[in-house]
Structure 1
Amino acid sequence: MLRTIIAGLKARTARLVLSSVAIALGVAFVTGTLVLGDAMNASLRDEFAKSARNVDVSVTVSGEPSSAEEVRGITPETLARIRQAPGVAGADPRDSNTVPLVAANGKAKTAWAVSLASNEKLREFDLVDGRYPAGDDEIAVDQRTATTAKLTIGQPVVLLGKGDVRHTYTLVGTYQQGTNPLSLSGFDHVGLTPEAFQALEPERPPYQVVATAAPGFTQQQVADNVRQAIGGQGYRIQTGDELTKETLERVESQAGEFTTVLLAFAIIALVVAAMVIYNTFTILVAQRTRELALMRCVGASRGQVFRGVLAEALVMGLTASVIGLFGGIGVSALLQRVIFSFDGGEGTVQLPVTVTTVLAAFAVGTLITVLAAVLPARKATRVAPVAALRSQPDSGEEVSRTGVLRVLTAVLFAVVGVGAVVFGMNLEDEDAAMFISGAGTMALLAAVLVLGPLLVGPVNRVLGAVPRALLGVPAKLASANAGRNPKRTAATTAALMIGVTIVSLVTVVANSAKETANAEIDQRMPADYTVTSAVYDRPLPKELADELAAVPEVARVAPTTVIYGERGYFTGVPQDAIGTLFRPTATSGSLADLREGTIAVNAEYAKREGVSVGSTVTLKEGGSNESQQLKVVAVVEGQRLSDGIMTAETAQRFPRAAEGYDSILVKLKDSATNGRAAVEKVTDPSPLALVDSAAETKEQLNKQLNQVLGFIWALIGLAVVIALFGIANTLTLSVLERTRESALLRALGLTKGQLRLMLVVESVLMALMGAAIGLLLGIGFGWVITEALSNDTLSVDLVVPFGQIGVMLAGAVVAAVVAAALPARRAARTSVVAGMAEA
């Protein structure tokens, strides 16, 4: 029997290799994801560990002081005591804060400034070029900042300190920032001496001090000495080993979240690949009915036949696993390059291949292939020996024998799916509603998959009507072939249907969110321009609003202030701007009653806090000990700027309003011809002021959503590619199966071109079946998700992007034509005489 299996593998090598491509792609995705996760983990561990290298003792503000007086930071006196503690060879403050960096165009942008240790051993970063700052008028920047800001050593760099005071430094060096929380934030990064950093905000003490031990002292000894020197109250004192362990624990959780997202897409690809493999083995077993029956006739048992088919699957799985393992390494390298491109190209590709990854590749590839072959292998054992004496029957009648069971199973899935969707859409929590409704849509997808063989006939008749009318006999034969074996056609198209369903679902939801966000921007930004601060924690100067109001082209301005309370944040707006430049919609109460000492809250905040019109809200700004009692006069919706609105006069009660404005709404006169230039003439002298319009805001938002959508399309695209391989594989095996039939058609007058056209149309029909059903399901599921995301405050309208859907359908047709090219060529090249002689 072993020799028979080996001989069969040699005879069917080409078929098995073609079939293994699908599973190899799925394994490559899984392997690439695991290698990428390990690479990110290793990179993060290396880079995050730099913050703890050579650190023997760390002292930080605990946030839970044991003394009555809260510790706000580490004072110079405390730093001096740490440095004088026995066993401390050196100690430096470590701190970071956002600071406005003035770019070459004169506008500020947010940057992270860090305090660079004076002790070389305690520096977190690796010097790349030049040197570290030695004086208070010198600065260093990380490589990415130097590249994006086009800075070179020797150039001046300007930062804005407290009160927007300009501090000018000379750039003396660049360093490798690597991967850490600050680099992941995407901000520019600059390093200063401790004294220069402190000068930016003199009243703000550092939050941490790190120290290195002198020779002969252990970390624990130095930590105990430091604790004794400063008392330990209000401080958290850690050894270097404890700090490293805590840092690496954070790393593993961050890397794991990204890997989990990629694995979800890898699982989808594997499910599709498993369906392709199942279909492939089903066809192979059907084609070998006489061969298997003959084996039974010469003495092979059912168990031997079963094991023989599984042995072929095992060989295919092992082959696919090897290919997928090496392909996955390449996928990981490519993904890392893509990730690095988002960060200015900084980073080194790492390809750690662990034992776990290798075992996972072989386990996934082999197990899925073998499991997918179990049912076809069982079917092979049921082949009666007498089948060797007759022609192979067509299996088109199998659907009628199993129709009741299929319908009952589909009904069960449908009931569960509809129930989950209805329950989820009635939930108030958006996350829970989307999760449960999404699970319901997957149950409905399963119901459609189960009903697949019953849907093939009607869908095939509808989709085949146009080709039959236009292309004549070849199209009629193709339509008949596509519907001849509904189970096979359904299994072939199901893989593509899953991929297209998910792609269209994500596309519909993303476009719906995009259009809803654009409508929100239009609704809440009736102003022509909005002047905002380039740095989120630096308000615009109040005199800027007066200067803009004096511009002849400007009809009116409305400065706004955001007040951050302990349980929400609220926007202060001039009373005369409400309803004109600021347009919330009142669902209860009246905005006409919004005066000094009152507040209007949005519906979501009202529900969360249990307040309504007539209630009193207590607001205490963060960091302030004073609170204000404000009466709720309206509940509003249609604005997502904050948890509510108040008049500018009410906002003046809070300290933040005295600092400046968060934004200034500008409405031009109807007669203004060059209003933007007039506005920019006023804002250009201020490094913080950025001029934005609703169109620009929408363009930026759409760009971000399109990037996310493109990334998801690329990930799901692998499942679609695998499904198309399945169509090509099915056609190839079908051509072999129908060799005598094709020869007979040629003998009856069908030309080679017509035979090729027949197979191309058959491939296109199968692709359109999967794509059309997938698009209908994706659009329907998209409606479910958008309804689940809608709430009292925001209604997400369903938007169907017909252009993108047309591109998907066209892509499916083109791919189907390509998939049919080789099978059609093979069928046309087979001679009529040789085909008629085929057993």
Structure 2
Amino acid sequence: MLRATLAGLKARTARLLLSSVAIALGVAFVTGTLVLGDAMTASLQEQFTKADRNIDVSITPARNGDSGAKPLTDEQLAAVRKVPGVSGAEPRLTVAVPIIGSDGKARMATGIAASSEHKLLPVDLKEGRFPERDSEVTVDQRTARVNDLKIGQQVEVLGKKDDQRKKFTVVGTYDRGIAMNQSFLYDQLMFMPNVLQSLIPDDAGGSGYSEIVAAAQSGVSQDQLAGEIRDALGSGVQVKTGQQAVADTMERVEKQSGGFTMFMLTFAVIALVVAAMVIYNTFTILIAQRTRELALLRCVGADRGQLFRSVLVEAVAMGLFASALGFVGGLGLSAGLQALLNAAGEGGGRVLLPVTPTTVLAALGVGVLVTVAAAVLPARRATTVAPIAALRSQPDSHDEVARTGKLRIATVVLLALAGAGALLLGGRVGQQAGVVIAGVGTMFLLAAVVALGPIIVGPLNRMLGALPGAVLGVPARLASANAGRNPKRTAATTAALMIGVTIVTLVTVVAASGKQSANDSVDRQMPADFQVSSMMYDRPLPADLPGKLAGAAGVDKAVPAATVYGQVGGKGSDFEQIDGVRGDGFGSVVRPKVTQGDLGKLGAGTVALDENKAQALNAKVGDTVPLKAEEGQPQQFRVVAIYSGKELPAAMVDLGSIQRIKPDAKAFDRVLVKLRQGVGAADGKAAVDKALSGLPTAQVVTAAEVKEQINKGVDSMLQFVWALIGMAVVIALFGIANTLSLSVLERTRESALLRALGFTRGQLRLMLLVESVLMALMGAVIGVALGTGFAWALLSMISGEEIAISLVMPFGQIGAMLLAALVAAIIAAVAPARRAARTSVVSAMATE
């Protein structure tokens, strides 16, 4: 029996090859994801632990309740250096230090402190040396590359104030790794410690260090030194050994990279599910085509168990071959993704291909298990037909079909009820839990539609095939008849594509809706033509800036504004946004919809409340409500207006009241600029830029620029998801090509008969092309409908009083997706159609 099975495999190699590609693609996705995840973990561990690899003890500020952590002081540094067993101790400090570009504008950068103990530095020297004088600076490799800096050149940075500029000579470059999450995306420079302290603005909240690191003398253990330092410093600090610091860092890195790996594996699982459907369909067709062969084996003595095991052996062989192919492809996929990520990060990264036993076992195991699982039902079906009935090729009885139909309908009803119940439950609970529950409900509903497939493909096929039949004539009508002659096979073929299109549509519609919601929010929050702010909070805008901007050509108003966060309604309330705007800004640059009262009455001691907040407080015009910042005392304000709208602050006050609520708040943190009627945006921007000359940290933002930035971010995310789910779509298209190829073999005599009756080769090719297009359209149309419905359900759960997201249909993107499916279906049909057209009529008529 084994020899017969292996001989059959050899005879059907070509038929199984295309199906193997489907599994290989899924395995490649899994392998590539696991290897990429391991590579990211190794790379991130190397980069993050670089900061702690040579230290023996790390001292950081301990959090003190709500007041946060206070920076470490020079006194604490001196105390650490005096501890017995310390061979050296150095402070670590990160300061925002803007670089001045050739255009005179500032570019965000961070500065770190140099050290005489080079081994304690969180970086590796690559070229030149570290700074030794106050006029010297060493820059990291990325900063040197982006700014085209070389050793010996000078770099200009801002001092304590914007009008203080200092020049430093570059004396070396280093590889910084990733020591601090908040700074690795920015340029970085290393200064002498005293110089770095002198660059901290007065408004930054004082000096100090974020960490002190120490090295132990020979013979002193890390635990021993940590205990001595802990005793010397007392409370208010957190002391860790170097080993603890590295272990904590590696744990954080593994969580971060593990989350990314799980995200990627989600799409890999989708691809494998689609591949399993292709394999299931393939074995179903092959078993149907081999009915007489299997029955003959039964007649010569093979029992049902042997037939069952024979089919599973074929599945194991196919799974092993596909897994090996997919494993090699996965290594290439991981290398390609790493190269793309390195290029996106401006180069400099290495391509790592760590292959662990877990990855190898996962690749082989997943490929074989998915293939075998997909072949179980077809294998079981092969054993249920009586030998004599199979030799006669008799169709299933009506009773069996009826029983199958009843079971299918019962399954559909149960899955649909479970899915609908989960969606309803998800809508009643909180947003995060609701989305998870709704996701489970979505999977149930998707499974229900897959189970319902054989019932709905018939009517859908007739509807979609009507137009091609009317335009293209007999070949198209025959194509529609072929697509509908075996509903189960057609449904299984189209279901794979349907799943991919459903997810693509879901993500695309949600992204388009979210993008539109974000753009609407920007329009509401930025009614002014321009918003001027400082790129750094600790470098506030000058007090005379509103006056300068108001006097600029073409400017109608320049209104200062500020935002603080505080409790609206007294102790126990959540901290919410409170906006302060100069009085003349209400009604011009700030225009909420007023439902009660008058915004024009806002002044000292008065407040306007958001409608939802007013309802929560049961407050109305004329009532008094307390406003309190975290550091301040409750201040009583009289309500003079109530406004409505989404994503607006909980309260609005006159600008002068901001410092009453929060005494240490900036007088203003932005200026809202409105142009005169008829002044163009370009002319207005030029006038504003001119008024900002000499203010390198001032930045001008328009609503259009903010929306463009949002749209770019959403589009990038969308393209990333499209690329991930694209693997499942490609596998589904392989499934269509595979089904057509097997159908061409199955219908060899039928095709020959059509040729004998007058069909041309072109008409035969056209028939198969239309059949492929109809199957792709069925999957795509159902997928678009499901994806849109799921998107609507998801958006309904996300939307609430605070966030309003309306359904937006990106018809252009969906149309492009349908067109791409049509083109791909035509491409998938080319090889089978060519084979059918080239087959000799005489030899085909003689085929069994």
Q: TM-score range by the shorter chain?
A: over 0.9
Letter aligned with residue 17 of structure 1: L
Match of 1:275 among 277, 302, 321: 277
Of stretches 655-664 and 31-40 in structure 1, the one that deviates more from structure 2 is: 655-664
Aligned-pair CA distance for 1:418: 2.4
Q: Secondary structure at the residue paired with 1:496?
A: helix
Kindly tell me the number of residue pairs found equivalent between the two proteins.
Answer: 832
CA distance in 2 between partners of 1:192 and 1:542 (Å): 31
Is 1:823–2:836 an aligned residue pair? no
CA distance in 2 between partners of 1:610 and 1:495 (Å): 53
Of stretches 88-97 and 413-422 in structure 1, the one that deviates more from structure 2 is: 413-422
- Written as runs of structure 1 = structure 2, the 5 A alignment for 1:455-604 is 455-565=456-566, 567-586=575-594, 591=599, 594-602=602-610
Aligned to 2:126: 128
CA distance in 2 between partners of 1:246 and 1:457 (Å): 59
CA distance in 1 between partners of 2:634 and 2:137 (Å): 42
- Judging changes above 3 Å, is the alpha-carbon distance between structure 1 residues 250 and 751 closer, same or farther for their aligned structure 2 residues? same
- Native 8 Å contact 1:144 1:343 kept in 2: no
Aligned-pair CA distance for 1:745: 1.0
Q: Secondary structure at the residue paired with 2:564?
A: strand
Aligned-pair CA distance for 1:192: 1.8
Aligned-pair CA distance for 1:473: 0.8
Q: Secondary structure at the residue paired with 1:451?
A: helix
- Native 8 Å contact 2:110 2:183 kept in 1: no
CA distance in 2 between partners of 1:99 and 1:423 (Å): 51
Q: Secondary structure at the residue paired with 2:562?
A: strand
Match of 2:149 among 125, 148, 151: 151
Q: Secondary structure at the residue paired with 1:568?
A: strand
Letter aligned with residue 100 of structure 1: P
Q: Secondary structure at the residue paired with 2:190?
A: strand
Aligned to 1:204: 207
- Judging changes above 3 Å, is the alpha-carbon distance between structure 1 residues 129 and 568 closer, same or farther for their aligned structure 2 residues? farther
CA distance in 1 between partners of 2:61 and 2:451 (Å): 60
Letter aligned with residue 436 of structure 2: F
State the Cα deviation string for residues 144-173 of structure 1 (Å, max 9, x = none): 222223333333323334343433322222
- Judging changes above 3 Å, is the alpha-carbon distance between structure 1 residues 55 and 714 closer, same or farther for their aligned structure 2 residues? same
- Judging changes above 3 Å, is the alpha-carbon distance between structure 1 residues 827 and 115 closer, same or farther for their aligned structure 2 residues? same
CA distance in 2 between partners of 1:124 and 1:113 (Å): 13
State the Cα deviation string for residues 634-677 of structure 1 (Å, max 9, x = none): 55443536544322021132567764532211111114352221
State the Cα deviation string for residues 730-784 of structure 1 (Å, max 9, x = none): 0001111111111111111111111111111000000000001111111122222
CA distance in 2 between partners of 1:74 and 1:309 (Å): 71
Is 1:695–2:704 an aligned residue pair? yes
- Native 8 Å contact 2:144 2:150 kept in 1: yes
- Native 8 Å contact 1:548 1:679 kept in 2: yes
Q: Secondary structure at the residue paired with 2:98?
A: strand
CA distance in 2 between partners of 1:241 and 1:34 (Å): 27
CA distance in 1 between partners of 2:612 and 2:718 (Å): 28
Match of 1:95 among 70, 93, 96: 93
State the Cα deviation string for residues 347-406 of structure 1 (Å, max 9, x = none): 111110101111111111111110010000000111221145324648999765422222
Is 1:763–2:772 an aligned residue pair? yes
Letter aligned with residue 216 of structure 1: G
Is 1:248–2:230 an aligned residue pair? no
State the Cα deviation string for residues 469-506 of structure 1 (Å, max 9, x = none): 01111111100000000000000000000000110111
- Judging changes above 3 Å, is the alpha-carbon distance between structure 1 residues 263 and 642 closer, same or farther for their aligned structure 2 residues? farther
- Written as runs of structure 1 = structure 2, the 5 A alignment for 1:174-193 is 174-182=173-181, 186-193=185-192
Of stretches 677-686 and 416-425 in structure 1, the one that deviates more from structure 2 is: 416-425
Aligned-pair CA distance for 1:593: 5.3
- Written as runs of structure 1 = structure 2, the 5 A alignment for 1:410-809 is 410-427=412-429, 429-565=430-566, 567-586=575-594, 591=599, 594-602=602-610, 612-613=619-620, 614=623, 616-621=625-630, 624=631, 626-630=633-637, 636-638=643-645, 640=647, 642-653=649-660, 659-673=666-680, 674-809=683-818
- Judging changes above 3 Å, is the alpha-carbon distance between structure 1 residues 325 and 670 closer, same or farther for their aligned structure 2 residues? same
Of stretches 611-620 and 643-652 in structure 1, the one that deviates more from structure 2 is: 611-620
Is 1:222–2:225 an aligned residue pair? yes
CA distance in 2 between partners of 1:606 and 1:662 (Å): 26
Letter aligned with residue 669 of structure 1: R
CA distance in 1 between partners of 2:266 and 2:158 (Å): 45
Is 1:323–2:363 an aligned residue pair? no
Letter aligned with residue 83 of structure 2: A
Aligned-pair CA distance for 1:433: 3.5
- Judging changes above 3 Å, is the alpha-carbon distance between structure 1 residues 410 and 600 closer, same or farther for their aligned structure 2 residues? farther
Letter aligned with residue 304 of structure 2: R
Aligned-pair CA distance for 1:220: 2.3
Q: Secondary structure at the residue paired with 1:652?
A: helix
Question: What value does the CA root-mean-square deviation take over the aligned residues?
Answer: 2.5
Letter aligned with residue 190 of structure 1: L
Q: Secondary structure at the residue paired with 2:97?
A: strand
Aligned-pair CA distance for 1:577: 1.5
CA distance in 2 between partners of 1:535 and 1:399 (Å): 72
CA distance in 2 between partners of 1:555 and 1:150 (Å): 41
State the Cα deviation string for residues 560-602 of structure 1 (Å, max 9, x = none): 1122448233221123322321123356776455433344454
- Native 8 Å contact 2:768 2:829 kept in 1: yes
- Native 8 Å contact 2:499 2:783 kept in 1: yes
Letter aligned with residue 755 of structure 2: R
Of stretches 496-505 and 745-754 in structure 1, the one that deviates more from structure 2 is: 745-754
Match of 1:380 among 378, 382, 385: 382
Q: Secondary structure at the residue paired with 1:182?
A: coil
TM-score, normalised on structure 2?
0.93
- Native 8 Å contact 2:274 2:728 kept in 1: yes
Of stretches 752-761 and 522-531 in structure 1, the one that deviates more from structure 2 is: 522-531
- Judging changes above 3 Å, is the alpha-carbon distance between structure 1 residues 268 and 78 closer, same or farther for their aligned structure 2 residues? same
Q: Secondary structure at the residue paired with 2:181?
A: helix
Aligned to 2:570: none
- Native 8 Å contact 2:316 2:372 kept in 1: yes
- Judging changes above 3 Å, is the alpha-carbon distance between structure 1 residues 590 and 367 closer, same or farther for their aligned structure 2 residues? farther
State the Cα deviation string for residues 54-106 of structure 1 (Å, max 9, x = none): 101112222249xxx99833322221221122221111001223333333322
Letter aligned with residue 35 of structure 1: V
CA distance in 2 between partners of 1:71 and 1:35 (Å): 39
Aligned to 1:61: 61
- Native 8 Å contact 1:596 1:649 kept in 2: yes
Aligned to 2:168: 169
Aligned-pair CA distance for 1:297: 0.6
Of stretches 672-681 and 390-399 in structure 1, the one that deviates more from structure 2 is: 390-399
- Native 8 Å contact 1:289 1:387 kept in 2: no
- Judging changes above 3 Å, is the alpha-carbon distance between structure 1 residues 231 and 526 closer, same or farther for their aligned structure 2 residues? closer
CA distance in 2 between partners of 1:395 and 1:597 (Å): 86
Letter aligned with residue 736 of structure 2: I
Of stretches 405-414 and 728-737 in structure 1, the one that deviates more from structure 2 is: 405-414
- Judging changes above 3 Å, is the alpha-carbon distance between structure 1 residues 615 and 275 closer, same or farther for their aligned structure 2 residues? farther
